[in-house]
Amino acid sequence: MPERRVDTVILGAGIAGSALAYHLAPRAGPILLADPRPPAAGATGRAAGVVTLQLWNEWDVRVTREARAEYAQLAARHDPSAFTTNGFVRWTSRPDWVPLLEAAAERLRGWGVDVRPVPPNRLHDLLPAGRFDGVVAAVHAPDDAVVTPSRLAEIYLEEARRRGAEMAVGTAVGLPVARDGGWEIPIGGQPVRARRLVVAAGAWSKRLLADLGHPLPLAPYPTQAAVLAPPDPVAPTVPSAHDLDEDVYTRPEANGRILAGNGTRLVEVDPDRVPGGADDAFLTHIAETFGRRFPGWADADLVRAWAGVCTATPDRRPLVGAVPGAPGLHVLVGFNGFGVMRAGAVAARLAARLGSDDDSAPADGALAPVDPARFPPGTPARSPRPGFTLEDGDDPRC
């Protein structure tokens, strides 16, 4: 079979890889996005879809704000149901956590985020299904949103095709080989030569990069979530919520349902060995939390529950850009459970970089905080530490 030549191959059809194809297509030569599985079959299809600016460093806030604006525009043009502004509420019953929550809110306001204190006796106005006995502090970000991640990935793919990108999704993909200053990748039984390879394969990126001889400090870890149907349907504008004490979050889902997590386990796993279903311990924790904190939803029927795999890095920031010592190899990985929040904007920044005259030069300010070169070769992956942390993400102790 004759060799096929393209400028860039993107491996991974989740929201990050799809967004990159969309943003890169007008800037580069022929682009081929390849994935052996269907679109959004990995973490994207299992993501909660909460888009909050209640994050832990200024770079993350800026990127998520850019992504939020892009998602709103894409949904308005293609599928308005894929984006809803509903706000995000967090609270605690622990007095020792109040200074942390207040400091986080003050830091966010300094970055232009609208975060408002909520008197505990007014939480019921925002979440009528809740009971907030003992809550001592709460904050509300009214501009936060929820999205349908799989639908956004589809929209990015549709638009990328319109811009000339080609797709090989649901097609066998072999191990890339560096050759003659570029990359050769078997895709669908045909050898494909590319000047540039971008790995955006989510939890499978660690193994792939190691097989390429360029390991990076990534740690795949399991998460779990469930969709429940309360007796009374939930309005789509009900705020997402995070009980800091129980570390359970909720968000409104389609058809009046509720999505609930956090079934994260802070252990590294093989993504091919994680069961697809949620475990009994997680479902029991959700049921007990609903009974205590959301009595209005306590009788909800379980619709479905699942497990997925996210990917952590040592400092909770993704790895985006050129891989040191590997000409033509780039990554868009390691989102620490916040891939949907960041993907559109990070992909836009990487596309601008890849469309420049020297895409392997040191990262500029747009991507400097996530440059893979910040970790020396051989840096080991750490135990995953994701989550809606209250810490200052620029504190070197984090």
Q: What is the pLDDT of residues 202-239, one digit of tens each?
A: 999 999 999 999 999 999 999 999 999 999 999 999 99
Query: pLDDT at position 383, please?
Result: 74
Which pTM value belongs to this model? 0.95
8 pLDDT exceeds 70? yes
Q: Stretch 76-104: mean pLDDT, rounded?
A: 96
| Residue 276 token pair | 């697809």
At the topology level, CATH places domain 88-144+220-312 in D-Amino Acid Oxidase; Chain A, domain 2 (3.30.9)
Alpha helices in 13-57 (DSSP H): 15-24
* Cβ contact 33:69 at 8 Å: no
Angle between the 149-162 and 15-24 helix axes, to the nearest 10 degrees?
30
387 pLDDT exceeds 70? no
CA 216 to each of CA 93, 199, 219, 323: distance values in angstroms, whole numbers, following the listed order: 39, 12, 9, 9
191 pLDDT exceeds 60? yes
* Cβ contact 346:352 at 8 Å: no
- As a whole number of angstroms, the distance between CA 209 and CA 218 comes to 10
Query: pLDDT at position 1, please?
Result: 67
Contacts of 318 (CB under 8 A, 6+ apart): 332, 333, 334, 335, 336, 339, 342, 346, 370
Q: Stretch 299-324: mean pLDDT, rounded?
A: 94
Query: Buried b vs exposed e over 361-378: b needs ≥16 C-beta within 10 Å?
Result: eebeebbebbbbebbeee
Query: pLDDT at position 61, please?
Result: 94
Per-residue pLDDT reduced to its tens digit, 264-304: 888 899 999 998 899 999 999 999 999 999 999 999 999 99
Under the banding of pLDDT at 50, 70 and 90, the label for residue 150 is very high
| Residue 187 token pair | 């895709």
**Pairing outcome for strands 190-199 and 177-179:** unpaired
- As a whole number of angstroms, the distance between CA 189 and CA 173 comes to 8
397 pLDDT exceeds 60? no
Reference 66, options 344, 393, 367; nearest CA is 344
Under the banding of pLDDT at 50, 70 and 90, the label for residue 56 is confident
Q: Stretch 181-187: mean pLDDT, rounded?
A: 96
393 pLDDT exceeds 70? no
